Amino acid sequence: MLSIGIIGTGNISRAHLHAYLQFPEEVQVVALADIEPGKAETARAEFALDGARVYEDATTMLASENLDLVSIATPPGTHCELSVQALEAGVHVIVEKPMAPSLEECDRMLEAQRRSGKLLSVIAQNRFRDDMAQLKAVLDSGRIGRIAHARIASAWWRGRAYYDLWWRGTWASEGGGPTLNHAIHHIDLALWLLGRPQAVAAMMTNAGHDNAEVEDLSVALLQYERGLAELTSSVVHHGEQQEIIVQGEHARIGQPWSVAAETARPNGFPETGGDAELVAELEALAAGHAPLEHTGHTGQLGDVIAAIREGRAPLVDGEAGKRAIELVTAIYAAAIERRTIDLPITAENPWYRSETLLERAPRFYEKTASVRSQEGEAIIGPTH
Ligand SMILES: NC(=O)c1ccc[n+]([C@@H]2O[C@H](COP(=O)([O-])OP(=O)(O)OC[C@H]3O[C@@H](n4cnc5c(N)ncnc54)[C@H](O)[C@@H]3O)[C@@H](O)[C@H]2O)c1
């Protein structure tokens, strides 16, 4: 039985607690910590974790408990320090996305992971979705051929009050806007599905939130060996119509699931009806995807629990978390410097350091309010 601790008992900790409760034979949540007095106790009561102890700081919890695994569900700016602390205490770590606001911090976390020999997993729960897994399986079959183009719409909508929460809306405490905090899901998926691009161009703006320093919209172009991708990161999209469309040499596939395959007439124009045989084959590949036993956070936490049991790496490790941050960093660097950024971003590059973004990022607007907590349910994933 693995002893679990939770650090940060706000919105997303609910998804972790719910997930752990799906594996009662293998794990038990024994401790919860939150710096906000009473919050850990509220979570303990809500999930009826009767035997669990509550703490007002993670350091005391790590020193007092004999934990096997912690979930870190605190604001992004705290992820590095808390992860390193837990790993150094000999505890496996699952840390919420984004891994940390800078590559320098990601590397500190990876070094702590290697030194400790413990496991580090960064949340990317959308990989554990049937529609994404299906898209990945069809792409990996290679049947659509060389990738020419991808359109990735990480489209979210958030009202003005969203940025009134104390840690949101500043470069210092949130680390960025939707490029870092929302589109990180699609950025991880893009890297998982298409691999690492060679270069990035981008623009960003704040189109609708005059109470936040950070961007609320960015549009990036990613260059691959022969293909291009366009990535929109937004919290100003009514309808939150998210999609991934991949154009291959032979066919297009997409999430939500769609497929099309053109063939050429002698003059190069598209033939009516296209390649029906390939479309049928791709449909069959998609239909052949076996539904995942657990999805979302439950899927990822289940994988981490299995990885600990089997002594293997988790499906989403710290390196994957870092690669997503590298792409986010490249988007910010490209938008701020108004030039194309080549990948990888190595330790010699100023954009590797934590301070560079803070020094150079435009303050679009002043953050006008800073409330400690907000009423109402926080929704995970688009509402449509
Ligand atoms: N995977 C997802 O879909 C998803 C969705 C929402 C949020 N998140 C991520 O989860 C993290 C938390 O977001 P949230 O919406 O739950 O925020 P939240 O403000 O609701 O909760 C964060 C909690 O951490 C506590 N905290 C802050 N610093 C702490 C520290 N040093 N030690 C212990 N507790 C501390 C706060 O008091 C608060 O209760 C962020 O990184 C966010 O990006 C992920």
pLDDT, one tens digit per residue, over 268-297 is 999 999 999 999 999 999 999 999 999 999
Please tell me the predicted confidence (pLDDT) of residue 198: 98
What pairs with residue 234 in β-bridges?
A: 155, 217
Residue 60: count other Cβ atoms within 10 Å of its Cβ.
12
Strands (E), the chain: 2-7, 27-33, 53-55, 69-72, 92-95, 120-122, 147-155, 199-205, 217-223, 228-234, 243-248, 252-255, 258-260, 341-342
Ligand 1 centroid – CA 354 distance (Å): 20
Please tell me the predicted confidence (pLDDT) of residue 383: 61
Ligand 1 centroid – CA 249 distance (Å): 42
For residue 61, the Cα-to-chain-centroid distance in whole angstroms is 26
Please tell me the predicted confidence (pLDDT) of residue 384: 56
Instruction: Identify which of 12, 81, 242 to mutate to test ligand 1's pocket (most ligand atoms within 8 A of the CB).
Output: 12
The ligand 1 atom at the shortest distance from the C-alpha of residue 33 is 33
Ligand 1 centroid – CA 107 distance (Å): 21
Q: Residues 74, 77, 81, 84: is their CA dihedral positive or negative?
A: positive
Give tens-digit pLDDT for 289-329.
999 999 999 999 999 999 999 999 999 999 999 999 999 99
Residue 290: count other Cβ atoms within 10 Å of its Cβ.
9
Ligand 1 centroid – CA 222 distance (Å): 30
357 pLDDT band (50/70/90 cuts)?
very high
By percentage, how much of the chain surpasses pLDDT 70? 99
Does the C-beta of 65 come closer than 6 Å to ligand 1? no
Does the C-beta of 242 come closer than 6 Å to ligand 1? no
Give tens-digit pLDDT for 32-76.
999 999 999 999 999 999 999 999 999 999 999 999 999 999 999
Ligand 1 centroid – CA 364 distance (Å): 24
98 pLDDT band (50/70/90 cuts)?
very high
The ligand 1 atom at the shortest distance from the C-alpha of residue 166 is 19
The ligand 1 atom at the shortest distance from the C-alpha of residue 125 is 1
Instruction: Identify which of 6, 7, 11 to mutate to test ligand 1's pocket (most ligand atoms within 8 A of the CB).
Output: 11
Ligand 1 centroid – CA 155 distance (Å): 21
Please tell me the predicted confidence (pLDDT) of residue 374: 82
Is residue 32 within 8 Å of residue 49, measured between CB atoms? yes
Please tell me the predicted confidence (pLDDT) of residue 28: 98
Nearest CA to ligand 1 atom 39: 10
Does the C-beta of 371 come closer than 6 Å to ligand 1? no
Please tell me the predicted confidence (pLDDT) of residue 375: 80
Instruction: Identify which of 34, 70, 189 to mutate to test ligand 1's pocket (most ligand atoms within 8 A of the CB).
Output: 34
Ligand 1 centroid – CA 196 distance (Å): 28
373 pLDDT band (50/70/90 cuts)?
confident
Instruction: Flag whether pLDDT at 332 surpasses 70.
Output: yes
Instruction: Identify which of 39, 42, 74, 371 to mutate to test ligand 1's pocket (most ligand atoms within 8 A of the CB).
Output: 74
Cα dihedral value 234, 185, 334, 206, nearest 10: 20
The ligand 1 atom at the shortest distance from the C-alpha of residue 76 is 41
Ligand 1 centroid – CA 83 distance (Å): 14
By percentage, how much of the chain surpasses pLDDT 90? 95
* Residue where the block lists tokens 């990613």: 222
Does the C-beta of 35 come closer than 6 Å to ligand 1? yes
Ligand 1 centroid – CA 11 distance (Å): 7
**C-beta pairs of 292-296 under 8 Å, 24+ apart in sequence:** 292/128, 292/129, 292/130, 292/133, 294/19, 294/22, 294/128, 295/128, 295/129, 295/130, 296/15, 296/19, 296/125, 296/126, 296/128, 296/129, 296/380
Does the C-beta of 379 come closer than 6 Å to ligand 1? no
Ligand 1 centroid – CA 110 distance (Å): 21
